[in-house]
Structure 1
Amino acid sequence: MTVFILVAGAFTGPYVWRDTAARLTAEGAEVRTVALTGLGGGPGGPAGAVDLETHIADVLAVIDSVAAEPGREIVLVGHDYGIHPVYGAADRRAGVIARIVHLDAGMVQDGVPALAAVPDRLLREEAAELAVVSGGGGAGGELPPPTREAWSRWGSTADLTEAALEGLTALAAPQPLGTLLQPLRLTGAVAAVPVTGVLCTGNGPGVEMLQIMVDVGDPALRALADAGVAFLELPTGHWPMLSRPTELAKALTEAASGGGRRLTPPGAAHRPAHLRPFLLDVPERPRERTGNTDLHLPDGPGPHPAVVFVHGGPVPAGARPTPRDWPTLTGYARLVAGEGAVGVTLDHRLHAVTEYGQAAADVARAVERVRADPRVDADRVALWFFSGGGPIMADWLTQPPPWLRCVAANYPILAPLPSWGLADSRFHPVRALSDAGDLPLVLVRAGRESAEIAATVEEFVAEAARRAVDVEIVDVPEGRHGFETLDPTDAAREAVRRAVAAVLARLSG
């Protein structure tokens, strides 16, 4: 018999699993929920000197009670913070664990505390300050549970009903600081245990986006691809046991049987999506490289209008080729150069979501370098953003300069994603629309976009309509994120031509 041992995340206890556990039981599985010390009893549970080792011991106690009965196949499920005590316990009982399931939980590392995985920087700082007040290591200290309005700082609340959110708030308990601050210690034995990740696509990337990140060289995800980790998706927010209990039960059952999709490691037999040919056969153009910037030049001395193409990310620092040589960027640059505008590709240093500041500075410097070139008409410039480069748009939507004639974006991220912890960042294009004035915008939407990114685009479009901002939308109904190399259909080709024509039209005056 399969026995699911379910470990809840920060501030929560066994009660969150009620509906999912009932469905798993109805399907013939056995379910045990772990009451983590200081959390399992709800509000007012004793914190004392509770740390991560305390919670590992809690999980070990349940594992040992199950393992004492013959014929049990143990599947350990960790949600959110819960993955840390799950790994600590599995490392010490690797021989009796059939599988570990990460339920919308990040990766863990030996010697790294759970606090490092908290997405919101301000929350990490708050916990660190509380630890100092309570005596350095956080012994006896507690992090207060979120208010009803603050749960989104810990993960997307998508699909939670008002009643579920109220219940989550009412039953939440303070999180003992020691559980977040004590480093996880692993011997390495847990590496032998099969792993499945259940991705909540309303809160973070899905499998296709992970594959893109593997392809561009993300070392942590490359390791997951090499290890054959399986992945399943749930189209909901960070608390699927409350928002989609039936679907979660089915996903856990499939995970226990080894189901799911696996990432493809880079290799000779796999051509990364971002390095496949551009969907249009565009002739080469004269190309000049200066610093981090390439100019794809039209015919004639100029001055010509310019379109600056800003790649997405994060892209690992060691990725080769660098983005300015990727077929999508060079394809667009050649395309506009053939129509009489300078096409600009560049590299910026968005190597992690915490590095938008330096990436934005790289883009700003590149734009000024382009405008200073005598072959460029400094008063006729457009910026075109892609994917994770979208948040950088915010700087240019905020009181745009008169020489900026248009801003375009393809399958962009237009607000910080819930898993980034950057809700208060300046890199928030939706909010920046209030200062965009009459700047024309061109938005290319991928119909098969991931749920988390599509939500930011919908929010942006709604805000633009509310503020009567000039947005021309070009839809690619069957297109995926990065459709220019993934989906070379006639409809996609027409969408590219239409988008280019829309941008160039705004540079013609």
Structure 2
Amino acid sequence: MTISTNPPTIILIAGHWLGAWAWDEVLEHLGSDHSRVVAMTLPGLDPEDPNRTRRTLDEQAAAVLDLMAQHGVSEEQPAVLVAHSGANAPASLVLDRHPGLIRRMVWVDSGPLATGCAFDPDFPEGLDELPLPPVDVLANQASLEGLNAGILERFQTLAVPEPGPVLRQPVELTNDARRKVRTTLVCCSLSSTKVLELAHAGHAMFAEVAHLEHLDVLDLPTGHWPMWSRPRDLARAIQSEASRTN
């Protein structure tokens, strides 16, 4: 098989509560050929979807694959998949099911999940969704470094509650070829040194990192939402990693 040397399609997926809009500032800095850069909203995070609270990780993974197909992604022309935060669950499923479609995996303040992991397996069955917490609560869960009052207000205004099934569903992974895909960790709220330390210690959220065969790490010190706190620098990092051939 010959892989094309044409610039790859870059697919951007933001984490919980976020849609394609979360990448607006990054897109401004990702060069002029926006036809090859696609920010997507996962099923369950479209506020106009009447069935959004019932969407699952399988539906999210299928939507990523559908988007790839729409943009001509194939094993001859694989994509660069960029997953931020909680987008790691559907991205891990895509990586497991079709590793040949991904030229490089870029995790933004995130990383691949191990099989059997769920974001919140104990999220009550009686709850349909998880709204964005108040800012003071959110600050105890993830770093808000670099986010001013205006950014936080926009976040609160546009955030869509995360569907319960997405939070509860564990990822089931069976294909070890996912570990052979070239991977970059963009480390923001935790340094790369700390992430690798946790990975080799077997920490549940980072254990899979220790099994990756082609791993690069890049430090971009800031909070958990670098697409808002350092959009230019994040765009440069994504563009640089997407252009790599090894």
Tell me if both proteins adopt one fold, taking TM over 0.5 as the criterion.
yes
Match of 2:186 among 187, 198, 216: 198
Contact 1:37 1:47 in 2 (8 A): yes
- Tell me the CA shift for residue 69 of structure 1: 7.6
Contact 1:11 1:172 in 2 (8 A): yes
Aligned to 2:124: 130
Count of aligned pairs: 236
Letter in 2 for 1:97: I
- Tell me the CA shift for residue 106 of structure 1: 3.7
Match of 2:201 among 218, 238, 245: 218
Aligned to 2:218: 232
Aligned to 2:3: none
User: 3-state SS of the aligned residue for 1:53?
Assistant: helix
Q: Does 1:7 align with 2:1?
A: no
Match of 1:178 among 165, 190, 209: 165
Aligned to 1:57: 62
Partner Cα distance (2:66, 2:227) in 1: 23
Name the structure, 1 or 2, with higher relative contact order (CA <8 Å, separation 6+).
2
Percent of aligned positions that are identical: 29
Letter in 1 for 2:124: L
Alignment of 1:87-486 (within 5 A): 87-115=92-120, 128=122, 130-131=124-125, 133-134=126-127, 141-188=128-175, 189-200=177-188, 203-204=189-190, 206-210=191-195, 218-219=201-202, 224=210, 227-258=213-244
- Tell me the CA shift for residue 92 of structure 1: 1.9
- Tell me the CA shift for residue 174 of structure 1: 0.9
Q: Rg: which structure is higher? A: 1
Partner Cα distance (2:197, 2:74) in 1: 43
Match of 2:40 among 34, 56, 59: 34
What is the CA deviation profile of residues 88-116 of structure 1, one whole-angstrom value per residue up to 9, with x for unaligned ones? 11222211210111110144011211227
Contact 2:8 2:79 in 1 (8 A): yes
Change in 2 beyond 3 A, CA 1:53/1:235: same
User: 3-state SS of the aligned residue for 1:115?
Assistant: coil
Letter in 2 for 1:250: R
Partner Cα distance (2:45, 2:207) in 1: 32
Partner Cα distance (1:13, 1:231) in 2: 26
Aligned to 2:88: 83
Partner Cα distance (1:77, 1:223) in 2: 16
Contact 2:56 2:166 in 1 (8 A): yes
Aligned to 1:496: none
Letter in 1 for 2:139: S
User: 3-state SS of the aligned residue for 1:32?
Assistant: strand
- Structure 2, unmatched stretches of 5+, are 1-6
What is the CA deviation profile of residues 438-493 of structure 1, one whole-angstrom value per residue up to 9, with x for unaligned ones? xxxxxxxxxxxxxxxxxxxxxxxxxxxxxxxxxxxxxxxxxxxxxxxxxxxxxxxx
Letter in 1 for 2:192: V
Contact 1:90 1:97 in 2 (8 A): yes
TM-score, length-scaled by structure 1: 0.43
Letter in 2 for 1:18: D
Partner Cα distance (1:238, 1:86) in 2: 18
What is the CA deviation profile of residues 110-145 of structure 1, one whole-angstrom value per residue up to 9, with x for unaligned ones? 1211227xxxxxxxxxxx3532x24xxxxxx11122
User: 3-state SS of the aligned residue for 1:178?
Assistant: helix
- Structure 1, unmatched stretches of 5+, are 117-127, 135-140, 261-509
Aligned to 2:26: 20
Change in 2 beyond 3 A, CA 1:232/1:14: same
- Tell me the CA shift for residue 20 of structure 1: 0.6
